[in-house]
Structures are given as structure tokens and as C-alpha cells.
Structure 1
């Protein structure tokens, strides 16, 4: 199925589709939020980010050593403005949206990290996202080595050794894999991680209309991924889009693994039956 990749109002998402590295990450995330709130005004979020930068500018300019600048950022957002998360946040799709993080003070590891990165950029600090396996973090380079800020935990700061020990205790990754997981993440992979967070929540909550919008973006970003096309086909059927489901499932049946053939054939027949009822 050819994807409609125009996304006329989503300038940053279009850049992601074309693999342009010059991405305004906060705006790209707001474009995802607009799927749930079509009338969303981005200015409220961007104004909030700018205001936090103005609050921090003088403190960061005076900070020395460089770690103190990071601590000022963490204290401002994590303590003064109370941004953080808890396990209940993972079951709320709206807390992946930057505007809702600002409104509620709560967010997911990814959405909180994006806000930290955006405010840091306003005051000349370079925070990069880190797609660690157990929790998304941000990374700050110092002359003594990288520090990692956990926005989900209220802005706590950790050393490389702290993070390696934590991931080792919570996963089966090798030391080489752990080191790789703590490398800076590209904006594209950050957006994909946010979309996957949304995908999981919408699936658990059986919110198929929003799941379709999320899955469509994932499939557009990864057009060669059989898994994303298969998931889009299955979501199409659940979202009462039998025409799209028939087309997508027909494509998947041509390339699917043998162990999925029977199930996808059954879903294809269901989609054909649903489509016939619509005609």
C-alpha cells in the first residue's frame, strides 16, 4: 500500500520522512499530539519552554563547574516546576504529549526528556536523548565524562557507572550492548520511541482510532518494515477500516512468515466480510 506521506501541516514529520537531520524535535512531538487534539496551539508549549529558558539563563551563565549548570536545569524543572513521572503515567497516552506534560506536571520518560532537552537548548546546554533499554534518559557531556539525567525521576543525575550498573541489574545485555545503549539517540529514533509508547497504550486501552493514526506514522517512517505494515493491517480492521485492511492484509500475505499465514488469512477473510457489509 503506498503511503500518503504529505502530512501538509506536519513540517517536522515530513523532514523525518525524508531523513533530514535538521529536526525541531519539540515541534515534531507536538505534531504527534495534534493527532489527538486537532486544534492544538503549539505556541502555549513553545512559550513555556522559552519562559523556562529565561528563568535559567543567568544561573546557567554563572554556573561552574559545568555540572552545576546541569543541576540548575534539573532543580528548575524537576523541583521548582515539579516535572516527573510514575508508573501510572505509562497507562496514559496524553502524557506522551508535551502540552499535557506541562499542564499536569507528569509525563513519560521520553516526553519529559524532550522538554528537558528543549529548555537546555534555550540556555546553551547540549542534552541528547539516550534510548536506554530500561528507561529513556538524557546525556550531558563533561570534561570528566558523560552525566545522565533521569527526567522521569524528577531530574536525578547519574554517572556512567551508575547507569551501567542499573542496566546490568535490570537486563541481560552485555557490557558492549550497554555501552551502545547509552550513546546519543537521533531525533528520528526518539520520535519512533514516543510513537511506540503511544502504540502500546492505545493497544492496551483498545483505542483503535488513535492507534490507527499512530501506527500509520510508524509504518510511514519504516516503510520496509513488515512488522509495522502487518500491525497497520490488523489495526485497520479493528478501527473499522475494512478497505484498508483488505489491501494491507493482501500485501502482508505475500511476504508473511509461514507461521503467520493461517492467522492473517483469517483476518483477511474477516476484512473482506466487513467490507462486503459496507457495500
Structure 2
């Protein structure tokens, strides 16, 4: 059984600072499914692929960053066979870096982590892109190229190069035909933002599977990354309610309303006011329940 308090403390230490180690953080997330996971074999696997990729770059005599990026993409997706798991997108193993490395399949964000970690070891300039609904990877361009479409690939689709039309189509798939593509959607994100995306994907998956204890554990890690995250505090409270931890639910939901404010001001969106009223009803019921247990 996992000691979530201990894991959350270790996770908070790992993700603190400006440049947390992406692979180490991802392997700590994997301990939610594999409590006794030894990270060493997975890190050694990334190291080996980094050495092999660097050798391929040297053999190819590549000079440009774009060519290096393309060689690395071919190495990972054609030679090593990494691919998106299109048959069981909600398999928790897709979010566990150790399983992605072993099975060579996963979801876009974890496949993107593999690409970024091997790129770092091979000396290739790559960055993650938190595109709406689908994580992408791009060449880390020079500042003079920021107003042009960068080289972007889809890590879950055999490293397919994404033209602007492909990006626009992908955006419409996730946000609807009225959504407008903008180059700012392809801005690079940092390691902490990638870690949060992995956790948010995993939380949604567990909730859909009604695996509420696991979803609450994920929320503990999200709060370790961003302790003031009001939405995660609310979600932890609602998950505690589902798990009949009424004291924990009351504590978190009261804190959520305190942070976000129960206001009837016209400046507060109607949906936020309605949500606050629903949370307030939960709190009143929880207070009665907790009082009856004392």
C-alpha cells in the first residue's frame, strides 16, 4: 500500500525549483501504480537511448538543429517503435513512464517526455507544447524564428510532422470548429507544466473509472506542485466526500470557499456563483454529519 504523505513530500522536493528533473518526477508519479518502483532501470534506459541517438546524429554528420530533431524522431518512433496507445487510452500504464519505456506505448504527454528526455541526453534542442487536448513536441527555435511555425511533431502518431493545417485540424477536434489557431498555442512549456499535465490527465482518468482513492492520491501530488491550487483543493474535498472522509471533505471545501470567495457580486460569473452555492450546500450537510460523529 502506498504511503501518499511520504510520496507527496518526496514529490514536492523533486519538483521544487526552476528546473525540476522531468524523468524523476514522472517516475515518482508512476509510484502511484507501482509503490515499490525502482527508478534506476528506467533512467538507465533513457541514458542508453540518449547514447544511441547521439551516435546516430554523429553518423549522419548532421549540422542543423532541424535535421538533428528529425533524426531523433526517426530513431524513437521508427527504430525503437514508440507509438500512441490508440486501443486503451485510459489504461493507467499509459501515464507511468516505466511502463511506457517497457511497452513502448503511451499517451501523447508521456511519449513526449520520452522524446524530451532522450533529446536532452543526445544534445537536441526540444521542448514540450501543451496544445489543447493533445501534447506535442517542437524544436526549440532561436529567438529570431519565434514568429514562424516551428518544427512540431505528434509523439503519439509516429512522430508525424505537424503543418499549420494539421495543428488547426487538431485544435478543431478538441475545441470545436469555431476555435482559432494561433502560433501562441505552440509556445514551449516548462517541466513543471508538463508534470501538471500528466497528473491532470491521470486524475481525470481515475475519476472516469470511479477509482476515487487513486484520484485523491493524484490530487495530493497536484497540491504538492501548486499548494495554492483552489481547483485541486476543491477536487480533493469532493473526492474525500465520495470516500466518506467527511472531516477531510469539510476542511477542504471550507478552505476552497475561503480562497475563492462566496460572492454574489455581479462581477462573479454565474457558473462560479452556482458552483459556490452547491459547495455551500455540501458544507452545511458535512457540518451536520461531522457534528453527529462527535
SS at match of 2:109: helix
CA distance in structure 2 between the partners assigned to 1:271 and 1:88 by the alignment = 41
How far apart are residue 44 of structure 1 and its match? 1.2
Correspondence 1:187 to 2:191: yes
Closer, same or farther: CA 273–202 of 1 in aligned 2, 3 Å: farther
Counterpart of 2:10 in structure 1 is: 9
Counterpart of 2:117 in structure 1 is: 118
SS at match of 1:153: coil
Aligned residue among 232, 241, 263 for 2:245: 241
Superposition map of 1:77-92 within 5 A = 77-92=76-91
CA distance in structure 1 between the partners assigned to 2:200 and 2:160 by the alignment = 25
Alignment gaps of 5+ in structure 1: none
Whether the aligned pair in 2 keeps the contact of 1:148 and 1:157 (CA below 8 Å) is yes
How far apart are residue 57 of structure 1 and its match? 1.8
Superposition map of 1:104-183 within 5 A = 104-141=103-140, 146-159=150-163, 161-167=164-170, 169-170=172-173, 171=175, 172-175=178-181, 178-183=182-187
Whether the aligned pair in 2 keeps the contact of 1:89 and 1:106 (CA below 8 Å) is no
Alignment gaps of 5+ in structure 2: 263-271
CA distance in structure 1 between the partners assigned to 2:275 and 2:81 by the alignment = 47
Counterpart of 1:29 in structure 2 is: 26
Give the TM-score taking structure 2 as reference length: 0.81
Give a deviation string over 1:225-267, Cα, whole Å, max 9, x none: 3322211110111234222112112223443443134432443
Superposition map of 1:225-236 within 5 A = 225-236=229-240
Whether the aligned pair in 1 keeps the contact of 2:152 and 2:161 (CA below 8 Å) is yes
Counterpart of 1:210 in structure 2 is: 214
How far apart are residue 272 of structure 1 and its match? 4.7
SS at match of 1:149: strand
Closer, same or farther: CA 242–46 of 1 in aligned 2, 3 Å: same
SS at match of 2:128: strand
Closer, same or farther: CA 238–58 of 1 in aligned 2, 3 Å: same
Counterpart of 1:46 in structure 2 is: 43
Closer, same or farther: CA 183–142 of 1 in aligned 2, 3 Å: closer
How far apart are residue 147 of structure 1 and its match? 0.8
**Which of 121-130 and 150-159 deviates more?**
150-159
**Which of 212-221 and 113-122 deviates more?**
212-221
Closer, same or farther: CA 188–54 of 1 in aligned 2, 3 Å: same
Counterpart of 2:278 in structure 1 is: 263
Give a deviation string over 1:168-219, Cα, whole Å, max 9, x none: 54444434xx211101001111111111100110000011111011112223
Aligned residues: 269
CA distance in structure 1 between the partners assigned to 2:6 and 2:39 by the alignment = 22
Counterpart of 2:101 in structure 1 is: 102
Closer, same or farther: CA 271–100 of 1 in aligned 2, 3 Å: farther
CA distance in structure 2 between the partners assigned to 1:6 and 1:86 by the alignment = 28
SS at match of 1:41: coil
Structure with the higher fraction of residues in helix conformation:
1
Whether the aligned pair in 2 keeps the contact of 1:147 and 1:157 (CA below 8 Å) is yes
SS at match of 1:36: coil
Give a deviation string over 1:131-178, Cα, whole Å, max 9, x none: 11141111114688621121110222234x345433454444434xx2
Whether the aligned pair in 1 keeps the contact of 2:230 and 2:256 (CA below 8 Å) is yes
CA distance in structure 1 between the partners assigned to 2:191 and 2:140 by the alignment = 18
Whether the aligned pair in 1 keeps the contact of 2:237 and 2:252 (CA below 8 Å) is yes
How far apart are residue 5 of structure 1 and its match? 9.6
